[in-house]
Amino acid sequence: MATYCLYGEELQRFSAISENASGIGYEWEGESVVHLRLSPLAHSFGIEHTVRFVHGSRPEAGTEADYTVCVNAEGEALVWPKGACAPEPATVIPAKENLYSRSKGLIEVGILEGKRVLIIGLGSFGSQIAVELAKSGVGQFSLMDFDRVELHNLVRHTASLNDLGRLKTDFVRETILGKNPYASVDVFPVNINEHPDLLCSEVEKADLVICATDNNQSRFNISEALVRQRKVGIFGRAITRAEGGDVFRYRPGGPCYVCMIGNQWYKDMSEEITNEQSARANGQIAAYTSPEDADAMVQVGLSSDIEPMCNMMVKLSLIELSRGAESGISSLDDELTFPAYVWVNRRERHYRGFAPFDKCANRPTIMRWYGLDLPRNEECALCGEKPKLSLGEDFVKDFDPELTRINTDFDDDISEALK
Ligand SMILES: [Zn+2]
């Protein structure tokens, strides 16, 4: 017997009208699985079939449709394949209110449904975090990335070969909707560094901002928007060949991203090199560099090495989005109190001095989280009250006067001051 899938929301919609209607079926070839839809999918799959949705218990006389979905007065449905002498049962994909009932208690699904998350950068980090948040029931997304899926992305990205060449925003939107068809997803395939106004307005609308970009300029721009608009943001990245990585959470009033990296690195635009082709194109790798040397400069890691950082970013996101509601993850809020966390994958370079995992005797090892209790820097160039930019020796730079005004007035009246 074949497996038939129907969509609860579509059955509700069909029950509300009095006429019969035509739909479309998608069959997973050779697997005897057919999804019967009232509305066509944006991107179909498998073999397509004709479908009729009818009120009552039997197909219409002389119907040509491959499948007839008979819906009774209670909204229950049975499927009649063409020419069959008896109907077959179907699996109904729950309507919105029941889709995430299995997560109830662990997370406050009702609250997450109303939250809007802005995700900037949809590479190996952003794409995975987006999908995880959709699985948790987050209902509204805003996605920003101008990049397309390329061959070198595939080993670490959620996209597959079939998605090559597509905009990452469109791919991720579709994946989110595949997990939660009721989510609302706005996409902006633009470079945020060139669209500061759009960045500002999207940060304003968001309950949480995820910074998963691979360049410093965007991290600075996002940090500035977060500080200025008093929004919570979560940053994450892997370092050289993903030997480790860090996750940083900004909360208004707490230390900002520049407090963490230090004033001397603020506005430093030197980048990690993650892709040889683009690094050669923009001059980060000189033209005369041999392929072997270039290979050593390209800092990529395995997907499994990036996973721990994504996981921490998702946990921190759920804590921030559920704050104030009693749920199973509330206890994490008492534990994950630091603004920054460092993860170590391998005993290389920075972490060469770590103890072997199996002989550590209370010394630091790989495969662990280390919390960093950073203080806010009063002289932070971005959020400090007495901003100071250190360039080797103490050196006070001229700051954006608007930003300085905001930063010297860092209290709850800030939104008033900005009006
Ligand atoms: Zn700061």
Ligand 1 centroid to Cα of residue 401, in Å, is 16
Ligand 1 centroid to Cα of residue 381, in Å, is 7
Ligand 1 centroid to Cα of residue 123, in Å, is 26
* Domain termination site, one of 50, 66, 93: 93
Give CA–CA dist 11/16, Å, rounded: 9
Domain region containing 80 = 3-93
Residues 148 and 211 in one domain: yes
CB 113 within 8 A of CB 138: yes
Helices (H), 20-136: 96-99, 109-113, 124-136
CB 235 within 8 A of CB 259: no
Residues 59 and 132 in one domain: no
* Domain termination site, one of 93, 127, 152: 93
Residues 22 and 122 in one domain: no
- Per DSSP, the residues of 173-199 read HHHHHHH-TT-EEEEE-S-GGG-HHHH
* Domains in the chain, number: 2
Give CA–CA dist 162/178, Å, rounded: 16
CA distances from 123 to 50, 68, 143, 234, 308 (A): 38, 42, 11, 15, 15
Ligand 1 centroid to Cα of residue 26, in Å, is 53
**End-to-end CA gap in the chain:** 65
Residue 388 domain-assigned (yes or no): no
Residues 236 and 354 in one domain: yes
Contacts of 294 (CB under 8 A, 6+ apart): 276, 279, 280, 285
- 305 exposed, middle or buried (CB, 10 Å; 0-12, 13-18, 19+)? buried
Residues 62 and 142 in one domain: no
CB 169 within 8 A of CB 187: yes
We report the CATH number of the domain holding residue 270 as: 3.40.50.720
**Nearest 5°: phi and psi at 26?**
-120, 120
Q: What is the largest CA-CA distance in the chain?
A: 88
Residues 76 and 220 in one domain: no
Give CA–CA dist 34/7, Å, rounded: 12
Ligand 1 centroid to Cα of residue 236, in Å, is 17
Residue 38 domain-assigned (yes or no): yes
CA distances from 160 to 128, 150, 172, 175 (A): 13, 10, 12, 11
Ligand 1 centroid to Cα of residue 378, in Å, is 8
CB 209 within 8 A of CB 199: no
User: Hey, which bits of 190-230 come out as E strands?
Assistant: 208-211
Helices (H), 230-349: 257-261, 276-281, 291-297, 303-322, 330-335
Ligand 1 centroid to Cα of residue 242, in Å, is 26
Residue 298 domain-assigned (yes or no): yes
The single-letter code of the amino acid at 194 is E
Residues 311 and 163 in one domain: yes
CB 134 within 8 A of CB 115: no
Ligand 1 centroid to Cα of residue 190, in Å, is 27
Give CA–CA dist 351/41, Å, rounded: 49
Residue 418 domain-assigned (yes or no): no
DSSP 88: B
CB 169 within 8 A of CB 189: yes
Ligand 1 centroid to Cα of residue 261, in Å, is 9
Which is nearest to 297 in space by CA: 288, 285, 282?
285
Give CA–CA dist 317/207, Å, rounded: 10
* Strand ranges across the sheet with 369-372: 184-188, 140-144, 116-120, 208-211, 233-239, 244-250, 340-344, 369-372
b/e burial code for range 342-361 (CB count within 10 A of at least 16 → b): bbbbbbeeebeebeeeeeee
pLDDT the model gives residue 409? 31
Ligand 1 centroid to Cα of residue 196, in Å, is 20
Residue 60 domain-assigned (yes or no): yes
Ligand 1 centroid to Cα of residue 346, in Å, is 30
CB 46 within 8 A of CB 66: no
Ligand 1 centroid to Cα of residue 230, in Å, is 13
Residuewise pLDDT in 10s, the chain (419 residues): 799 999 999 999 999 999 999 999 999 999 999 999 999 998 889 999 999 999 999 999 999 999 999 999 999 999 999 999 999 999 998 877 677 666 666 666 678 889 999 999 999 999 999 999 999 989 999 999 999 999 888 888 999 999 999 999 999 999 999 998 889 999 999 999 999 999 999 999 999 999 999 888 999 999 999 999 999 999 999 887 788 899 999 999 999 999 988 888 887 766 555 566 666 666 666 666 666 666 655 556 788 999 999 999 999 999 999 987 777 777 888 889 999 999 999 888 778 888 898 888 888 899 999 999 989 999 999 998 877 654 433 333 333 334 333 333 333 332 333 33
Residues 68 and 185 in one domain: no
pLDDT the model gives residue 10? 94
CA within 13 Å, CB half, 122:
34
We report the CATH number of the domain holding residue 61 as: 3.40.140
Residues 48 and 123 in one domain: no
pLDDT the model gives residue 1? 79
Give this prediction's pTM. 0.82
Residues 313 and 237 in one domain: yes
Residues 46 and 127 in one domain: no
Residue 99 domain-assigned (yes or no): no
Q: Which residue in this structure is represented by tokens 């007839």?
A: 68
Residues 186 and 56 in one domain: no
Ligand 1 centroid to Cα of residue 199, in Å, is 20
Residue 155 domain-assigned (yes or no): yes
Residue 194 domain-assigned (yes or no): yes
Ligand 1 centroid to Cα of residue 388, in Å, is 11
* Domain termination site, one of 350, 372, 394: 372
Ligand 1 centroid to Cα of residue 341, in Å, is 17
